[in-house]
Structure 1
Amino acid sequence: MRRFLVLALLFCWNLTPAVASTDRPNVVLFFIDDLGWRDVGFMGSDFFETPHIDRLAQESMRFSSAYSAAPNCAPSRACLMSGQYTPRHGVYTVGDPARGNHRYRKLVPAKNKTVLDDKFITIADTLSQAGYRCASVGKWHLGKSPLSQGFQVNIAGNPTGSPRGGYFSPYKNPQLADGRKGEYLTDRLTDEACEFIKANANTPFFLYLTHYAVHTPLQAKQADVEYFQSKPAGKLHQHATYAAMIKSMDESIGRVLETLKAQQLEQNTIIIFTSDNGGYGPATSMQPLRGSKGMLYEGGIRVPLVVKWPGVTKANSASEEPVINVDLYPTLLEMTGIPQPEEYALDGTSLVHLLKDPQSQLKTRSLFWHFPAYLQKYKGMQQRFRTTPVSVIRQGDWKLLEFFEDGHRELYNTRLDISETMNLTDSHPEKVKELATALHDWQKQVRAAIPSEPNPQYRSGNESND
């Protein structure tokens, strides 16, 4: 009842019935799990094969400085759906914020929410109110079901962040009936997505195809694994099973695009392809970017992004403008001609101006990340954590990281040093002060949780790297 009243109040200002016109564009959002910045051909992979995505990129506008709003799955998805940064919804990380060896955690991390509260007005809520048929196909990870968040259709979505039964049927997924023995999950989700398109060809729809791939467990079809095992390794990428998973994901994109074409919907459908965070470190590389999933360095948050808006975006166009996934909510509203809900904060900026003119720039602004939690290291890492609690601002080419354990800061110029190898805090103290002030002002504005309580289990002076 509370959610109904909230939605009614937010949309009551629109006295005209929110019924989508027949020429309102469809929207297909491909949201791939753990796909790194370099994990597709058009971004330079020398081993993974993504011909369908590469063709889509050639027909679209590419963003080379696109970011997820968080370095791991659930918070990135909460930001995408709500249009808000992590401090507003409180989904800071996946599950327990106190990960890794307790002896090395100096602070008690901020409390973390694992469910996106129904009070947040998702992009699906807004599109549904305008008459769109909304389907979530694949990973949800923000609570029990997307059906309470504006979607009318849920295929395979639940609280879990990885496929419970793995990638082959039986899936052990209450929201997805088992297929034939050995059926591959990525293929099955593609079947479901294509059927949704066919069933809704005569009404505006929003298809959120949120593959579990290429999240662990790393499992792929044997023939594809053998193919990549026989292929010469690249200097950047070499992992055969991961490559095979990417191949199936790419084939999925191709099948969905072909279904749109067969249904004569290709020219009236907006296509967005992106990832929820950086790639899985043990299986891939984001070089020259530093880091991987779970880090606030570029390799953990910079992601591939392409947008195809028929009749608007120019084929094979590109932008270096820094953008972030909270921008997609206001962008889709402007694309579809739907007003923003009143008295609901959207932290992003519409990218429509950029999409119409790739040489243009957005108004000067800052991008923010807030991660008041710990993430354990990957096996083989020298450092004790992938990240400790940290807050980050990017403004223009400058990026400042401020770590809460000891207050130390790192300043990088992302244009001159994309690999973040040169900490410029000593040589640019005024820039540090400027960005730190802006970051602290933002933290106060959004009431960001700042961890400060000492961890009583912390043991200083322990030199072990366990």
Structure 2
Amino acid sequence: MKELNLFLIICIILSSTLCGFSQQKKINTSPNIILFVVDDMGWQDTSVPFDTTITKLNRTYHTPNMERLAAKGVKFTQAYATPICSPSRVSLLTGSNAARHKVTNWTLRKNLSQDAVDNQLSFPVWNMNGLSQKPGVENSFYAKALPQILKENGYYTIHAGKAHLGAIGTPGADPLNLGFDVNIAGHAAGAPESYLGTENFGVGKPDKSVWAVPGLEKYHGKDIFLTEAITREALAAIDPMVNKKPFFLHMSHYAVHVPIMGDPRYLQKYLDAGLNRTEASYASMLEGMDKSLGDIMDFLDRKQIMDNTIILFISDNGGLSAHARGGTPHTHNKPLASGKGSLYEGGIRVPMLVSWPGKYKPGKVVDQYVIIEDFFPSILEITKIKNVSKPQIVDGISFKPLLEDEPYKSDNRPIVWHFPNKWGGSGPGIGPGSAIRKGEWKLIYFYKTQHFELYNLAKDIGETENLFYQYPKLAFSLVKSLTQFLKNTDAQLPFYKENGQKLDYPLETFKNLKF
């Protein structure tokens, strides 16, 4: 009997060991994922050309590691985000369109809207507290976030840098409440008080504490730029997991958001090139961000895990141009019109790269348009994670077929932007509005002025010729589709300040027009 019991114990131990080995082997076959998100980086803010030709701006900036990533992978020339940061970031991690999740402006303080004051309009009560995985949190979007899903499927999840996913004092303010195992320097604020370690990244300034970057005390007083410090910490967090467990790194830089502060490593070269100090500082911040990308790629090469790592690169909105920049406002994203905060292309079209060596054709260019909520279903499909139980409706569509030359059934799908708020900047296309793109056509509706604009982006990327009254049937079709989407998502609309009356949906306005 003792011999039998001993035999059974040995069998159980061997079985458990083999099962554990089998599970470990299964885990290690899943690809590592690096989601590299840049803040406020414009479509042209790189030496990688996303237009059909190399532009003056492409020649101004120096981003050799983006060039390296583009050569290894796939370049998307028509990738879109929302006009400002928090809506994009919530869409990125949930797959839901901004009209649905209703985090339609930038978040910061609990139950306090960041809408600028307007003399005619009031703005709806939106989800100003951001994203929450806990149900019942007021003014929040309840959803299961991408890192939580990946964590439940064997991934080690790391957030590094800007979070800006929930207001101060709400669950979503801490990335650890959204499925991340590690949080490096992420909190409620969407900008740093300072990029300089010599200034403790803003820590210690009582009147500016809301913007101070937390968790980087080891770098306080040191001559180091914030982008570099966050990158070092991100790589240190990855290192113990190499070949042990697949990791998801949400590498989310504060750069190149204001305050525009020169990265000392690169500033002088741009001053020598003749840029004014503001623009030279901006260019140096871009190159510092690019160095971070290169450091991460070098790490993957050293650890011999590049071939089992997918890197996805995107910006959270178009490039800042309305204020704080050097030179003429609203020109920094040419040939695109306007910039951050705008429904014109300069505010929503962003650089996007995807690389997985050995899986995706190097140097491939995709001209099909995609939007930021597509990342959520794409990453799940790439990692073969299926049957996910989640409370939110996913509006995004996987772009995996575009990476692998498979049939893509959504060539002319409608994609929608909804911004019923007022951002802090002003300028062309900046203000409460909704827009829809289908095929080469894009229609914008501005609520305050109740007017429409229609552009053929294939022929007029700069949105210079409004064709609305020349194509009334096409315009009607787009207005109808836009309005139906807004109603289906229960999208909120602004109000007239004088009488509290809600503004019309686009279709209601259209019906009163005379052609």
Classify the TM-score, shorter chain: 0.7 to 0.9
Distance in 2 of aligned mates of 1:145 and 1:334: 27
Q: Is residue 97–residue 373 contact of structure 1 (8 Å, CA) maintained in 2?
A: no
Please tell me the residue identity of whatever aligns with 1:182.
D
Distance in 1 of aligned mates of 2:271 and 2:297: 29
* TM-score normalised to structure 2 length: 0.79
Shift of 1:255: 0.4
Distance in 2 of aligned mates of 1:335 and 1:60: 15
Shift of 1:101: 5.3
Alignment of 1:128-167 (within 5 A): 128-143=151-166, 144-167=173-196
Query: Aligned residue for 2:197?
Result: 168
Distance in 2 of aligned mates of 1:411 and 1:445: 23
More helix by share: 2
Shift of 1:99: 4.4
Query: Aligned residue for 1:82?
Result: 94
* TM-score normalised to structure 1 length: 0.87
Query: Aligned residue for 1:126?
Result: 149
Is the aligned partner of 1:40 residue 2:46? yes
User: Aligned to 2:486, which of 432, 443, 446?
Assistant: 443
Distance 1:223 1:130, change over 3 A: closer
Q: Which moved more, 1:257-266 or 1:277-286?
A: 277-286
Distance 1:94 1:410, change over 3 A: same
Query: Aligned residue for 1:187?
Result: 228
Distance 1:359 1:445, change over 3 A: closer
Is the aligned partner of 1:412 residue 2:426? no
Distance in 2 of aligned mates of 1:402 and 1:167: 42
Q: Is residue 432–residue 446 contact of structure 2 (8 Å, CA) maintained in 1?
A: yes
Q: Deviations over 1:261-310 (max 9, x none)?
A: 11111000001111000111125711111010110100000000010123
Distance in 2 of aligned mates of 1:455 and 1:175: 46
Q: Is residue 412–residue 420 contact of structure 1 (8 Å, CA) maintained in 2?
A: yes
RMSD across aligned positions (CA)? 2.3
Distance in 2 of aligned mates of 1:141 and 1:232: 35
Q: Deviations over 1:320-360 (max 9, x none)?
A: 10101111111111111101424642111111111001896
Distance 1:19 1:88, change over 3 A: farther
Distance in 1 of aligned mates of 2:39 and 2:100: 23
Please tell me the residue identity of whatever aligns with 2:193.
R
Distance 1:46 1:238, change over 3 A: farther
Distance in 2 of aligned mates of 1:145 and 1:287: 37
Q: Is residue 99–residue 417 contact of structure 2 (8 Å, CA) maintained in 1?
A: no
User: Aligned to 1:116, which of 119, 122, 131?
Assistant: 131
Query: Higher Cα Rg: structure 1 or 2?
Result: 2
Please tell me the residue identity of whatever aligns with 1:77.
R
Q: Which moved more, 1:18-27 or 1:365-374?
A: 18-27
Distance in 2 of aligned mates of 1:188 and 1:411: 45
Query: Aligned residue for 2:420?
Result: 372
Distance 1:215 1:335, change over 3 A: same
Shift of 1:361: 6.0
Alignment of 1:203-242 (within 5 A): 203-233=245-275, 239-242=279-282
Distance in 2 of aligned mates of 1:187 and 1:220: 13
Distance 1:117 1:280, change over 3 A: same
Distance in 2 of aligned mates of 1:86 and 1:19: 39
Query: Aligned residue for 2:8?
Result: none
Q: Is residue 76–residue 276 contact of structure 1 (8 Å, CA) maintained in 2?
A: yes
User: Aligned to 2:370, which of 302, 312, 323?
Assistant: 323
Please tell me the residue identity of whatever aligns with 1:150.
G
Distance 1:340 1:286, change over 3 A: farther
Give unpaired runs (5+ residues) of structure 1: 1-16, 458-466
Is the aligned partner of 1:49 residue 2:62? yes
Shift of 1:165: 3.6
How many residue pairs get aligned? The number is 431
Distance 1:310 1:455, change over 3 A: farther
Identity among equivalent pairs (%):
35
Q: Which moved more, 1:404-413 or 1:341-350?
A: 341-350
Please tell me the residue identity of whatever aligns with 2:40.
D
Please tell me the residue identity of whatever aligns with 2:161.
G
Give unpaired runs (5+ residues) of structure 2: 1-22, 134-141, 167-172, 204-212, 501-515
Please tell me the residue identity of whatever aligns with 2:27.
S
Alignment of 1:245-284 (within 5 A): 245-281=285-321, 282-283=325-326
Is the aligned partner of 1:346 residue 2:394? yes
Q: Which moved more, 1:252-261 or 1:44-53?
A: 44-53
Query: Aligned residue for 1:102?
Result: 118
